[in-house]
Amino acid sequence: MQQSVMKAWWDSSHMAGGNAAYVEELYEAYLDDPNSVEDTWRDIFDKLPKLDGVALEANHSQIRDEFRKMAALGPAARVPAAAASGSGAVSDDKQVKVLQLINAYRFRGHQHANLDPLGLWKQARVRDLELSHHTLSERDFDTVYNVGSYAIGQDSMSLGELYKSLNRTYCGSIGAEYMHITDTEQKRWLQQRIESVQAKPEISRDEKVSILKGLIAADGMEKYLGAKFPGAKRFSLEGGDSLIPMLKGLITHAGTHGTKEVVIGMAHRGRLNVLVNVLGKNPSVLFDEFSGKHDESLGAGDVKYHAGYSSDFATPGGNVHLALAFNPSHLEIVNPVVMGSVRARLDRRGCEDGSTVLPITIHGDSAIAGQGVVQETFNMSQARGFKVGGTVRIVINNQVGFTTSKIEDTRSTQYCTDIAKMVQAPIFHVNADDPEAVLFVTKLAMDYRNKFKRDVVIDLVCYRRHGHNEADEPNATQPLMYQKIKKHPVPRQIYADQLTAEGSIDDHEVEKLISDYRAALDHGACVVDEWRPMTEHSVDWSPYLGHDWTAPYDGALSVDKLKELARAMCRVPDGYPLQSRVKKLYADREVMAAGDKNLDWGMAENLAYASLVDTGVNIRMTGQDSGRGTFFHRHAVLHNQKTGEAYMPLQHIKDDQGKMEIYDSVLSEEAVMAFEFGYATAEPRTLTIWEAQFGDFANGAQVVIDQFLSSGEAKWGRLCGLTLLLPHGYEGQGPEHSSARLERFLQLCADHNWQVCVPSTPAQVFHMLRRQAIRPMRRPLIVMSPKSLLRHPLATSTLEELSEGVFHNVIDEIDDIDAAKVKRVVMCSGKVYYDLLDQRRKDERDDVAIIRIEQLYPFPHDEMAAIVQSKYKHVKDWVWCQEEPQNQGAWYCSQHHFWASIPEGGKLTYAGRAAAASPAVGYISVHNQQQKALVDDALTL
By beta-carbon proximity to ligand AMP, the closer residue of 617 and 864 is 617
In whole angstroms, the minimum distance from the beta carbon of 441 to ligand AMP comes to 27
Long-range own/partner contacts, residues 850-853 (CB < 8 A, 24 or more apart): 850/813, 850/825, 850/826, 851/810, 851/811, 851/812, 851/813, 851/825, 851/826, 851/827, 852/760, 852/810, 852/811, 852/827, 852/828, 853/758, 853/809, 853/810, 853/827, 853/828, 853/829
What's the rounded Cα separation, in Å, for the pair 280 and 312? Answer: 9
By beta-carbon proximity to ligand AMP, the closer residue of 310 and 702 is 310
In whole angstroms, the minimum distance from the beta carbon of 274 to ligand AMP comes to 15
By beta-carbon proximity to ligand AMP, the closer residue of 198 and 310 is 310
By beta-carbon proximity to ligand AMP, the closer residue of 387 and 718 is 718
By beta-carbon proximity to ligand AMP, the closer residue of 207 and 536 is 536
Q: What DSSP letter does each residue of 889-940 carry, written as one string?
A: TTHHHHHHHHHHHSPTT-EEEEEEEPP-SSSS-S-HHHHHHHHHHHHHHHH-
What number of CA atoms fall less than 13 Å from residue 874's CA on the CB side? Answer: 10
In whole angstroms, the minimum distance from the beta carbon of 485 to ligand AMP comes to 36
In whole angstroms, the minimum distance from the beta carbon of 361 to ligand AMP comes to 15
By beta-carbon proximity to ligand AMP, the closer residue of 310 and 931 is 310
Per-residue b or e along 29-52, where b marks 16 or more CB atoms closer than 10 Å to that residue's CB: bbbeeebbbbebbbebbeebeebe
In whole angstroms, the minimum distance from the beta carbon of 341 to ligand AMP comes to 7
By beta-carbon proximity to ligand AMP, the closer residue of 526 and 865 is 526
In whole angstroms, the minimum distance from the beta carbon of 539 to ligand AMP comes to 7
What's the rounded Cα separation, in Å, for the pair 128 and 133? Answer: 6
What's the rounded Cα separation, in Å, for the pair 366 and 411? Answer: 8
Q: Return all residues near 62 (Cβ < 8 A) that are at least 6 apart.
A: 48, 49
> DSSP secondary-structure letter at 706?
I
By beta-carbon proximity to ligand AMP, the closer residue of 62 and 310 is 310
Q: Is the peptide bond before 858 cis (omega within 30 degrees of 0)?
A: yes
By beta-carbon proximity to ligand AMP, the closer residue of 56 and 298 is 298
In whole angstroms, the minimum distance from the beta carbon of 366 to ligand AMP comes to 28
- CA–CA distance from 857 to each of 732, 745, 771 (Å)? 27, 9, 15
What's the rounded Cα separation, in Å, for the pair 30 and 54? Answer: 20
- Gap between the terminal Cα atoms of the chain: 80
In whole angstroms, the minimum distance from the beta carbon of 719 to ligand AMP comes to 4
Residue sitting closest to ligand AMP (CB) = 310
**Residues 838 and 866 sit within 8 Å (Cβ to Cβ):** no
What's the rounded Cα separation, in Å, for the pair 816 and 798? Answer: 19
> DSSP secondary-structure letter at 438?
H
By beta-carbon proximity to ligand AMP, the closer residue of 93 and 536 is 536
In whole angstroms, the minimum distance from the beta carbon of 681 to ligand AMP comes to 4
By beta-carbon proximity to ligand AMP, the closer residue of 191 and 311 is 311
In whole angstroms, the minimum distance from the beta carbon of 712 to ligand AMP comes to 8
Helices (H), strands (E): how many in the chain? 33, 25
Its sign, for the CA torsion 703, 704, 705, 711, is: positive
By beta-carbon proximity to ligand AMP, the closer residue of 373 and 720 is 720
In whole angstroms, the minimum distance from the beta carbon of 288 to ligand AMP comes to 18
In whole angstroms, the minimum distance from the beta carbon of 324 to ligand AMP comes to 8
Residues at the contact surface with ligand AMP, assessed by CB under 6 A = 310, 323, 541, 681, 718-720
What's the rounded Cα separation, in Å, for the pair 814 and 811? Answer: 8
Tell me which residue of 936, 774, 783, 932 sits closest to 854, measured CA to CA.
783
